[in-house]
Amino acid sequence: MSLTVQQKRAAFKALHNEGCFLLPNPWDIGSALYLQSLGFKALASTSSGFAWSRGHPDGGVALADVLAHLRALVEATDLPVNADFEGGHAADPKGVAHNVRMAVDTGIAGLSIEDSTGNPDAPLRNIEDAVARMRAARAAIDAAGGDTLLVGRAENFIVGRPDLPDTIARLKAYAEAGADCLYAPGIHTREQIAAIVAAVAPKPVNLLVGSASDLTMQDIAALGVRRVSVGGGLARAAWGGMQRAARLLMEEGRFDGFADAAPYPELNAVFNDR
């Protein structure tokens, strides 16, 4: 069954209304199709996973390539796709609005805008600038029909500024500026998660779990989180397997790094209908 863009977007919004769902992050068409085959209800792109697949560092992919990647993911699967759109790929709010409109035109069901700068000396945008960019993204989405979900990201905890009160202040400001869902990658304790969920309620919160954690989906749902993404976690897991196998080949001339490789028939079967 092939769903329209509007149907995907409606299904995606409905997922945020109750319960807690997983939003795994494929980095290419093949990984997207495999995740769809497992029964996930939605997907999210990963800027890092895609960048590494193209031989670039995270943040080093040109906007045109990002847009082409998003369109390819949307067209490959019947699942809604949430775009990791980094900081909007623009220097100012006007540019953010222009680029967000192009991203919406790819058919994505959701899109996140983050407030990091890429400058280690000043890693976060001031809140006024960040809010202006969020408002610009909201206006662009509304001008395109308003059915694409907007995610506001406060990057404090992953840029070396783990200030919970400031993170909460930013998320509340982004919610007021039009973000439908809030996201603070890098938080990991139950106390941090509960504080953010309470602060932005009733708007849904996305939690990143990109590394091993003692939290289960049941634990996370009990804290009030509505969706869980894994960022570049799956891509890093795939790279980890390749690195181990390649190093054994190079350093020891051994082939047992292939012991946990996916079976050829299983992988091939996923793509047989394409």
pLDDT over 60 (residue 1)? no
Residues 6 or more apart in contact with residue 176 via CB below 8 angstroms: 131
Q: What is the pLDDT of residues 169-185, one digit of tens each?
A: 999 999 999 999 999 99
Total length of the chain: 274
* Residue 190 maps to a domain: yes
Q: How confident is the model at residue 274 (pLDDT cuts 50, 70, 90)?
A: confident
Q: What is the pLDDT of residues 240-263, one digit of tens each?
A: 999 999 999 999 999 999 999 999
Measured from the Cβ of residue 202, the count of other Cβ atoms closer than 10 Å reads 6
- Looking at every residue in the chain, the average pLDDT score rounds to 97
* Residue 200 maps to a domain: yes
* Residue 158 maps to a domain: yes
Number of folded domains that form the chain: 1
pTM of the model: 0.96
Distance CA 268, CA 167 (A): 44
We report the CATH number of the domain holding residue 113 as 3.20.20.60
Amino acid at 101: R
* Residue 74 maps to a domain: yes
Q: What is the pLDDT of residue 184?
A: 98
* Residue 114 maps to a domain: yes
* Residue 218 maps to a domain: yes
* Residue 188 maps to a domain: yes
Q: What is the pLDDT of residue 273?
A: 72
By residue range, what is the domain housing residue 216? 5-231
E strands along the chain, which residues? Answer: 21-23, 43-44, 81-84, 110-114, 149-153, 181-183, 205-208, 227-229
40: left (phi > 0), else alpha (psi -120 to 50), else beta? Answer: beta
Q: In what order do the strands lie in the sheet with 149-153?
A: 21-23, 227-229, 205-208, 181-183, 149-153, 110-114, 81-84, 43-44
* Residue 120 maps to a domain: yes
**To the nearest 10°, the Cα dihedral for 209, 210, 215, 219?**
30
Q: What is the pLDDT of residues 83-131, one digit of tens each?
A: 999 999 999 999 999 999 999 999 999 999 999 999 999 999 999 999 9
Return the SS3 of 108: coil
Average pLDDT of the residues in 63-70? 98
